[in-house]
Structure 1
């Protein structure tokens, strides 16, 4: 029963394996940022209001520069654009470490916002080119497993790294000096992810499938790529001036909106709560750096391993039905986490929630790519990234305001409601298409 799946894992091309190696090194380096960013800003003496401003700057710059950065991908190519994102990440981290003044932290946040956009718009289209119909779900799931699982391992190592740095510098483990040194190490580590990426040969087109049976049927977008809705026909002179990938997307605006609405709703729910779960566990249960690192490492490793089961579930249930079922299961677990007064109950609820809600995320991205013409995929994944980030423009400011006055409980309720709405629209728009 498992032989075909094992064969497809082994069938990943050399380019795909090099991409995964690059992703592994980069993920380990950036994991300390995910764990310590909020704590570092607070340790440097800034308020939670300023922390919300930094989150907003990161997402705001990403939103404002999304279109120019998407267009730059067309000129640079996917591999070079992804390398540029690595350099931007490294510059942002090293700037944070070297100059902890408010203005420098804002510039650092802007660099990391630009890096995130470039990574978002290039990774999925590059994986489409490095895979075929038989291996695509496996490559996307392996990428998610590495990004999430190794982030967890990095979180675990980050706790020990912070302690070691504090010991060498003779400063407290939760001091601003410790976090700055850790961020400097992370910036150097990000640059170490470049060699596998630079050795990767970027195919001009997606790889051919191994047999005719695995060739996907034409998508809704492909089947009508030569047609345009009436409103678009009337605007044809203006329409022809747009970049070709945008033209391809605008021929099917309803499909694009449907694909973007679920991640848009998720972004608002996530931005209210998820970036601050480390603060929640510290304030609610008094966990120190090492305990936080171990806890979030466990969450991420479990989620990464669960992501590897996504293709098997999708083979039985279909991509979208798998997304709907797993995300629906995660919502009551989120509410249980917010209501828990016992540490172990909170840990179990948080672990089960993060696994259930995120394990099928790469399948949704793969589904969206399959519904999009090849030339328009960088724009489509960019729009998906923008949708996943939209809530972070304003929600962090709302979240920090609520935290200071009312605590975390209202945020758990609001996030659960938005997640439930995203599951509902995903089911309504797409699940009926999947047998």
Structure 2
């Protein structure tokens, strides 16, 4: 039920990811204005993520996820409708509220899986959970291509609204989640807070677990939210075509992901994470440098090929990086780490979006921004390599009994 619920919620998320920037560009928004709206979404998550993670630590996750599942499509619809208003304040409030709503659902998802799935099924369960975004991207991308091309030519706004209405089905499936959750912490003793129960060893492990995420997130924030703008402005790719190639890239993600448990079993975390990510960084460089010869007829095919190959290489490492992080920090810290990682992604994308806007205002080409992303990715890959070695050397963190 969790996977099905996430799948339908991702329909709205994916539609906004694929099409929102195109919709804003059609309305005349400049790069810096678009980046400012995106940064507001991430800023809201920054403010909310850490206290939220502390609050749900050791608590039942089902009710929180259900609340997020109903609020996310509501604020997704309001976000789209707010674009028609002339009030920047209303627009930013909707962007921020949508980001926080998605956080309510998304952050508890991984800890919930690790609480309810058998240990031997963790890798497979996490991989399946990660595939909902790919399956949603495939479905939405193909539908958008047919809705926006040929004789149909549906309006972008109506397409966005339709997929966000479909997202309400996610809440229906989450209502059927099992009520019983393992390892729900009993009421804390008087005067004890979530923060006070975090010990020195917790902090040390949490720090090592989140450092690679921070580096990858900072780099990604400079490029990933705006990659459709790169294709639109450098290579002249239409929104329907970008959606189609985005969908096809996630076919490769889903195919590659089926081999993740096998890669982990036979080759280990190092190959499954740092090996795939290293090749992905090289492919990203190939993608970005197509701007140098964008006028050549082969530039767009190379860029699209690199885009489609990079997706599975970077995305398929996700289940394993999550598993490594969650094992390293221990069971009682998983909700906290999931929330902190969400804050890191949003915080990094908040500042990176602002930096992107400034760089574009100064006329910095997309290629140099993408190369900066690749350089920061390299540091993140090194961080994951060190985290894997620490997990191998120190082992999983066995939780102390929580009073």
- Tell me which interval the TM-score lies in, with the shorter structure as reference length: 0.7 to 0.9
Say what the alpha-carbon RMSD is for the aligned residues. 2.5
1:266 counterpart residue number: 216
Aligned length, in residue pairs: 378
Corresponding residue for 2:258?
A: 308
Distance in 2 (alpha carbons) for counterparts of 1:97 and 1:337: 30
Match of 1:80 among 49, 53, 63: 63
Q: Unpaired runs of 5+ in structure 1?
A: 1-17, 207-239
Number of the residue aligned with 1:401: 358
- Is the CA contact 1:150–1:301 (under 8 Å) kept in the aligned structure 2? no
Tell me how far apart the structure 2 counterparts of residues 329 and 198 of structure 1 sit (CA, whole Å): 41
Match of 2:317 among 360, 366, 389: 360
Q: Once the 2 structures are TM-superposed, how far is the Cα of residue 306 of structure 1 from its aligned partner?
A: 1.4
Residue aligned with 2:97, SS: helix
* Matched ranges for 1:241-320 at <5 A: 241=191, 243-244=193-194, 247-248=197-198, 250-320=200-270
Change (3 A) 1:407 1:311: same
- Structure-1 separation of matches of 2:204 and 2:240: 47
Could you tell me the TM-score, scaled by structure 2's length?
0.86
Given that residues 111 and 334 in structure 2 are in contact (C-alpha distance below 8 angstroms), is that contact kept between their aligned partners in structure 1? yes
- Are the structure 2 counterparts of residues 428 and 76 from structure 1 closer, same or farther at C-alpha, using a change threshold of 3 Å? closer
- Cα pair distance change 1:79/1:162, threshold 3 Å: farther
* 1:190 paired to 2:176: no
Please state if 1:34 is matched with 2:11: no
State the partner residue of 2:77. 94
Q: 2:94 aligns with which of 90, 95, 108?
A: 108
Aligned to 2:142: 156
Change (3 A) 1:409 1:79: same
Distance, in Å, in 2 between the alignment partners of 1:243 and 1:39 is: 45
Question: RCO (CA 8 Å, sep 6+): is it higher in 1 or 2?
Answer: 2
Query: In the TM superposition, what is the alpha-carbon distance from 1:76 to its structure 2 partner?
Result: 7.2
Q: CA 1:86 to 1:250, structure 2 compared with 1: closer, same or farther past 3 Å?
A: farther
* Shift in Å, 1:389: 2.5
State the Cα deviation string for residues 320-339 of structure 1 (Å, max 9, x = none): 54211111111111111111
CA contact (8 A) 1:335 1:412 kept: yes
Equivalent position of 1:122 in the other structure: 108
- Quote the Cα distance in structure 2 between the aligned partners of 1:428 and 1:93: 39
**Runs of 5+ in structure 2 lacking a partner?**
184-189, 294-298, 394-403
In 2, the alpha carbon distance for the partners of 1:426 and 1:279 equals 30
Normalised TM-score (structure 1): 0.80
**Aligned position for 2:129:** 143
Alpha-carbon shift at residue 414 of structure 1 (Å): 0.5
Q: Provide the C-alpha distance between the structure 2 equivalents of 1:181 and 1:309, rounded to a whole number of angstroms.
A: 38
The one of 172, 177, 182 equivalent to 1:200 is 177
Q: CA deviation at 1:373?
A: 3.5
In structure 1, the residue matched to 2:341 is 384
Task: Kindly indicate whether residue 382 of structure 2 is the aligned counterpart of residue 424 of structure 1.
Answer: yes
Q: Contact 1:152/1:297 (CA < 8 Å) preserved in 2? A: yes
1:429 deviates by 3.4
User: Secondary structure of the equivalent of 1:116?
Assistant: helix
Deviation digits for residues 282-317 of structure 1 (CA, Å, limit 9, x no counterpart)? 122211122111111111221122122211111112
Deviations 1:97-118 (A, max 9, x none): 3332223221111112102322
Alpha-carbon distance change, 88 to 249 in structure 1, aligned in 2, over 3 angstroms: farther
